[in-house]
Amino acid sequence: MNVPGIRGWCPTAHRPMMSGDGLLVRIRPRSGRMTVAKARTVADLARRFGNGLIDLTSRAALQIRGVTDEVHPELLRALVAEELVDADPDIEARRNIVVTPFWIAGDLADRLARALAQRLVELPQLPAKSGIVVDTGTAPLLQDVSADFRFERDGEGGLLLRADGAERGRSIDEADAFDALNEMAAWFVQTGGGESGRMRRHVTKVSLPGNWRFAVPADGGDVWPPGCTKEGMIVGVPFGAMSVDALSGLLADADPGCVQVMPRRCLYLETARPVAHPAFIHDPSALLLDVAACPGGPRCTQATVSTRPIARQLAERGLGTLHVSGCAKGCARSGSADVTLVGRDGRFDLVRGGSVGDTADRTGLSETQVLELLR
């Protein structure tokens, strides 16, 4: 049986992760936004130092693929010089903040994200995958995005901090936001959160302090699909994978002012011309939007199956949400899906209405058997 190696950490620019096609070098744009010049620089660096492929993760990060050990130091120097990553490896590793889309300079989300980023080194040492969400728009939009600490609005427009997995949070003032985060992080560490790994698992084992469970978050808002907006254009990135030529072509055609890297593998092109580039998803009803698939084999050494060809075939069948994972790690989607396929020893296990960690309905299926079964 193939047992994937669970590393327990995500790549950064300073600490890349080896995959089947070379090193993965991750970039976290500050507050998820880059000028168009910075976006073009990312494409150029991926062309010069990688294999010409860029990943867009579910948590609004970019990954340059196919980097070799020999060129990695030069790529890192270029990323630091362009201020795309922090020169301090510890700060860069901690800068795992996802900000609500469509924020504007000077609003609450912008102010919070900047203030938190400046003081992250003061937090206690947290598990490597720990993350923060700043979801303080009119309505929360990031409730399905993986994080451990969540800044949100309450029903009256006030600010709260919520531990992931808890239904309610703690009312706070903006000026006290970091102190509240630091207190919650210290509680997490002191009560054994390091062994739990993630806040969502931890709160099922240890009760939060009572005053952290009073504030009711505002109802979640609708996810913005691809298409034109009043201020620009949203495009979907199939499977979160794009070539540097596709990205460069999109930027040249649309000529945006800035690019926001959105969760759920989308790009928001601010003040862009409306265009239709064939490498991206522009139709809000496109079935491919409901499909998550990791790179699979041979790009990932953990995977024993190819993932994206079968995912494209199944997408057209309208099965609902679909997750095709090359192994039991489930990197492409953390939650459940209507249909989940998990690669194991060169074949697929099928889970209906669950995730990669749930008991399979069918096991050991060939690709042909999957296609016949899921008609």
Hey, what are 349's tokens?
A: 């296990």
Name the CATH superfamily housing domain 17-91+224-270.
Answer: Sulfite Reductase Hemoprotein;Domain 2 (3.90.480.10)
pLDDT at 8 over 80: no
Under a CB-based contact definition with an 8 Å cutoff, are residues 93 and 15 in contact? yes
CATH 3.90.480.10 range(s) for the chain read: 17-91+224-270
**290 has pLDDT over 80:** yes
Q: Model pTM greater than 0.85?
A: yes
| Measured distance CA(365)–CA(337) in Å, rounded | 18
pLDDT of residue 375: 84
Q: Quote the mean pLDDT of the chain.
A: 93
Assess if CATH 3.30.413.10 describes domain 287-373: yes
Q: Cβ distance 45 to 328 under 8 Å?
A: no
pLDDT digits (tens, 9 = 90+) for 319-333: 999 999 999 988 888
Nearest to 219 by CA among 294, 286, 130, 156: 156
* Whether the Cβ atoms of residue 355 and residue 324 lie closer than 8 Å to each other: no
The arrangement of secondary structure in 103-212, i.e. its CATH architecture, is 2-Layer Sandwich (3.30)
Does the pLDDT of residue 166 top 90, yes or no?
yes
- CA dist 146 and 164 (Å) reads 9
Query: What pLDDT shows up at residue 2?
Result: 42
Burial of residue 118, with CB atoms counted within 10 A of its CB: 0-12 exposed, 13-18 middle, 19 or more buried: exposed
Ranges in the chain annotated CATH 3.30.413.10: 287-373
Model confidence at 139, pLDDT cuts 50, 70, 90, reads confident
For residue range 230-285, list pLDDT tens digits in order: 889 999 999 999 999 999 999 999 999 999 999 889 999 999 999 999 999 999 99
Q: What local confidence, expressed as pLDDT, does residue 287 receive?
A: 93
pLDDT at site 3: 45
